[in-house]
Amino acid sequence: MRNKPIANVNADLLKERKNCSFDIEELTNLIDGGKNQTARRREIENMLLKNMPFDIIPEECLSAKEKYENAVRKSVALNKIGVELVSQVTKAKELSDLTLTLRRVSDAYFREVTPFLLHLGMFIPTILGQCSDEQVAHWLPLAMQLKIIGTYAQTELGHGTFIRGLETTATYDERTEEFVLNSPTLSSSKWWAGGLGKTANHCIVVAQLYTKGECYGTHPFIVQIRDMDTHMPLKGLKVGEIGPRLGFQTADNGFLVFDNFRIPRDSLMMKHAKVLKDGTYVKIARHSKLTYGTMIFVRVLLVSEMAFNLSKAVTIAVRYSAVRRQSELKPNEPEPQVLDYLTQQHKLFISISTVYAFQFTSNWLMKTYHTVQANMKHGNTDALPELHALSSCLKAICTSDCSAAIEQCRFACGGHGYMISSNLPSLYAFTTATRTYEGDYTVLLLQTARFLVKTWEQVELGNAVTPMVAYLARHQNREAWDESPEGIIRAFEAIAAGVYQTESVRSVSFGQSDAIKDVMKQLSDLYLLYWSLERTGDLLTTLKSTLGSYDGRVYERLMEEALKSPLNQEPVNESFHNEPEPQVMDFVSQQHKLFIGIASYYSYSMTALWLWDILTKVTSELGVGKTDRLPESHGRAVFMSVFNSEMEKSVSSLSAPLQAVLRQLVELYLYYWTLEKRGDLLLVLQSTLGSYDGRVYERLMEEALKNPPNKEPVNESFHKYLKPFIQGKL
């Protein structure tokens, strides 16, 4: 399909393509996983192109309701073809290749995501990972053929991260051999599940299991929530759409509230635990966290998702940069392509190398995942903690880097990059959500930190550790890791870039031509070099040590640091009297994210007043500098110094406590920006989360209930598309 010559191609793009140093088809085969896979992908793409309905009106110009209905219309057409193709597949490998191809091609039809994303991404994987063999035999065919449409409802209004804190209860009633589901509080309302608002008729519900008066912790249940014929919510349930959000607008994310809702005993997914008819609880799992398995699987998937999304963004930005010409550098000469500016290359090329870093690492991670799964089938769960740690930090870093890189791609496209039609805003909205869902960025990094600390303890005891973390042992040797720049970079490369380097070298070591090897090597080097420069600051603070100071005042410094500890500021800690659940505001990492916003607000206000008076002078000063780093630092320095001096002038008449707070803000602003480069400012609140009275959950629910999709119990697309599709009449 791509090989057909295309008429009217922009001359600059043609020129750039002619300059390519390698055979593009060869690289395409490498990315697809071989020639045959490329051929198969193209076959499926061609078939879909012929059969899929395209949008008549651009998706972004439709109302929220129309967007959803359009997404259902397209999803049903895609699913029809998907189900047909899946039914022809006989081998597991073919099925996973097909799923990946369908996933990739489906993006050509949706600016937003399909309401079936959770059915495919979490409902089916949870059936596979959490059901007993008999349950799989019952549910899997129904789900694969889309006779039922499911989602995954774990998160509640009050808890997402802390799964053990979920409040929904499933209490076993041995008289009727049923579980009774209840949402005892407002904060226990299920919130967020994709497809739940309007589309799904089944749902995986994670709830606290009670039997014989005992709580056994959270367990997954498979629950029918809507009538299969009328699609009306079943009695005992309140279900609806949660309201507009940054992206995921066509995913109909929903809420779900249970009121004594009864489900059969075998609704409990029984691979890892079961409840017998008489209410006896039987634990089968060899590891207590196996019920968290779907999350690990999706975290692994997300690394390749990020590679794919960033590859789209950077392709858009690089092509446009080749076409876009701007600024007359020499009189009477053509304006250069913006791609030729070094600063533009600085914005874009790291994204190209990042795509490959993510894709190679993702291939390796998926293989590792399957190996660990295979071992677990034979009862060996030894590798699970490391898989959890790896998938946690890789998911956190790749989702965060990917959304930041997509923003760079948007910046690289100037004003036109802000147009929805450029697709960059939608790509950003989709990927920035991935930093939060399936485990928040900070929370997942802390999980990996926990694993590393435990491993470090093992290293100190002289015990063997796995190859992936063996560098911890090597770095106990001061010769291997000294504080010279080379030593630090060596350590950094070993930690952060090891997988990418070895995997990219391994993947291109045979079969591939020298031209491809050269390009891959360049991309690999760029990735390593870029991050060793970007994070030099982090690396240098490794020496931020009471033990390693220049003056050798080890014991004095140890005591000084100990006395600064917040725990030492009060003689008896309040946890002696009671053990409150922490507010997320109490986490230092959360304060780190928020307090700079307050300080920045004051800094900007003060600087704005000052700037107004001396606009002309400052304008000329801000103009200096040849790279974007220098003016950025200059601008930041202006903010810092004006804030510092203007604040000093205006606080003198205020009360002492207020002066102290304002001075702390100045200090925070200055200190923060020596460590960080960016911060957020929310000037106009208009927010369900930030209301003065703190009635967060009430407001979220009030807003959701105002949501137009909730004004009708069943959306008309059910009768028009979903029902005929489920009943095989479409």
Ligand X SMILES: CC/C=C\C/C=C\C/C=C\C/C=C\C/C=C\C/C=C\C=C\C(=O)SCCNC(=O)CCNC(=O)[C@H](O)C(C)(C)COP(=O)(O)OP(=O)(O)OC[C@H]1O[C@@H](n2cnc3c(N)ncnc32)[C@H](O)[C@@H]1OP(=O)(O)O
**Footprint of ligand FAD on 441-460 (CB under 6 A):** 442-443, 446
Kindly give, in sequence order, each residue whose CB lies less than 8 Å from that of residue 475, ignoring residues fewer than 6 positions away. Answer: 481, 491, 494
For 656: left if phi > 0, alpha if psi spans -120 to 50, otherwise beta; the answer is alpha
**Per rule CB under 6 A, is residue 125 in the interface with ligand X?**
no
Among 436, 605, 644, 659, contact with ligand FAD (rule: CB under 6 A):
436
Residue 643 in the binding site for ligand X (CB under 6 A): no
Within 174-264, residue ranges assigned H as helices are: none
Of the candidate residues 27, 44, 117, 469, the single one contacting ligand X (CB under 6 A)? 117
Residues 64-103: x where in contact with ligand FAD by CB under 6 A, - otherwise, as a string: ----------------------------------------
| Contact criterion met (CB below 8 Å) for 248 and 165 | no
* Spatial distance between the Cα atoms of 347 and 12, rounded to a whole number of angstroms: 20
**8-state DSSP, 461:** T
114 counts as binding ligand X under rule CB under 6 A: yes
Q: How far is the CB of 288 from ligand FAD (least distance, A)?
A: 18
Burial class (CB in 10 A: 0-12, 13-18, 19+), 115: buried
Q: Does 203 bind ligand X (CB under 6 A)?
A: no
Establish if 298 lies at the interface with ligand X (CB under 6 A).
yes
Contact 171, 165 (CB under 8 A): no
Report what 584 binds from ligand FAD, ligand X, none; CB cut-off 5-8 Å by kind. ligand FAD
Contact 2, 315 (CB under 8 A): no
Q: Which of ligand X, ligand FAD, none does 385 bind, CB closer than 5 to 8 A by kind?
A: ligand X
> Shortest distance, CB of residue 706 to ligand X, whole angstroms?
24
Task: Just list the catalytic residues.
Answer: 438
Task: Check residue 595 for interaction with ligand FAD (CB under 6 A).
Answer: no
Residues 6 or more apart whose CB falls under 8 angstroms from that of 137 comprise none
386 touching ligand X, by CB under 6 A:
no
* Among positions 76, 105, 149, 153, the unique one binding ligand FAD when judged by CB under 6 A: 153
| 211 is known to lie in a ligand binding site | no
Burial of residue 620 (CB within 10 Å: 0-12, 13-18, 19+) is exposed
User: DSSP assignment of 321-335, as one string?
Assistant: HHH-B---SSTTSPP
Name the binder of 289 from ligand X, ligand FAD, none, CB < 5-8 A by kind: ligand X
Span interacting with ligand X, options 183-191, 301-309, 514-522, 720-728, rule CB under 6 A:
301-309
By 3-state DSSP, what share of the chain in percent is helix, strand and coil, each rounded to 5? 60, 10, 30
User: Contact, 234 vs 225, CB < 8 A?
Assistant: yes
User: What residues between 418 and 447 interact with ligand X by CB under 6 A?
Assistant: 437-439, 443, 447
Could you write out the three-class secondary structure of 8-25?
Answer: CCCHHHHHHHHCCCCCHH
Is residue 439 within the footprint of ligand FAD (CB under 6 A)? yes
From the list ligand FAD, ligand X, none, pick the one residue 153 interacts with, judged by a Cβ distance below 5 to 8 Å according to partner type.
Answer: ligand FAD
Count other Cβ atoms within 10 Å, centred on residue 684: 5
* Residue 587 interacting entry, from ligand X, ligand FAD, none, C-beta within 5 to 8 Å by type: ligand FAD
Distance of CA 436 to the CA centre of its chain: 5
Examine residue 359 and tell whether it contacts ligand X (CB under 6 A).
Answer: no
Q: Which of residues 252-291 bind ligand X (CB under 6 A)?
A: 289
Binding-site partner at residue 590 among ligand X, ligand FAD, none, CB < 5 to 8 Å by type: ligand FAD
Contact pattern from residue 162 through residue 181 relative to ligand X, giving x for each residue in contact according to CB under 6 A and a dash for the rest? xxx-----------------
- Does 122 bind ligand X (CB under 6 A)? Our answer is yes
Q: Which is nearer to ligand FAD, 245 or 553 (CB)?
A: 245
Closer to ligand FAD by Cβ: residue 248 or 725: 248
Q: Which of residues 84-113 bind ligand X (CB under 6 A)?
A: 99, 102-103, 106
Reduced to 3 states, what is the DSSP secondary structure of residue 441? Answer: helix
Kind plus residue range of the DSSP H or E element containing 204:
strand 202-211
Alpha-carbon gap, residue 238 to 254, rounded angstroms:
10
Residue 71 CB, nearest approach to ligand FAD (Å): 15
Beta bridge partners of 171: 180, 210
Tell me, residue by residue from 375 to 404, as one string, x for binding to ligand FAD by CB under 6 A and - for no binding: ------------------------------
Q: Which is nearer to ligand X, 158 or 336 (CB)?
A: 158
Query: In terms of CB distance, is 245 or 535 closer to ligand X?
Result: 245
- Nearest of 511, 271, 535, 491 to residue 401 by alpha carbon: 535
Distance CA 17, CA 24 (A): 9
Would the annotation count 155 as a binding residue?
yes
Based on the shown chain and the rule CB under 6 A, indicate whether residue 192 belongs to the binding site for ligand FAD: yes
Binders of ligand FAD among 621-660, rule CB under 6 A? none
**How far apart are CB 117 and ligand FAD at their closest, in Å?**
8
Q: What is the 3-state secondary structure (H, E, C) of 33-80?
A: CCHHHHHHHHHHHHHHHHHCCCCCCCHHHCCHHHHHHHHHHHHHHHHH
Q: Is 521 exposed, middle or buried (0-12, 13-18, 19+ CB in 10 A)?
A: middle
Tracing tokens 């749902």 back to the chain, one arrives at: 203
The interface region with ligand X, picked from 160-168, 272-280, 407-415, 606-614 by CB under 6 A, is 160-168
Annotated binding-site positions for FAD: 155, 194
Q: For binding to ligand X (CB under 6 A), which residues are involved?
A: 78, 99, 102-103, 106, 114, 116-118, 120-122, 152, 154-155, 160-164, 194, 289, 292, 295-296, 298, 301-302, 305, 384-385, 388, 437-439, 443, 447, 450, 454
Q: For binding to ligand FAD (CB under 6 A), which residues are involved?
A: 118, 152-155, 159-161, 192-194, 248, 253, 433, 436-440, 442-443, 446, 584, 587, 589-590, 593
Annotated binding-site positions: 155, 194
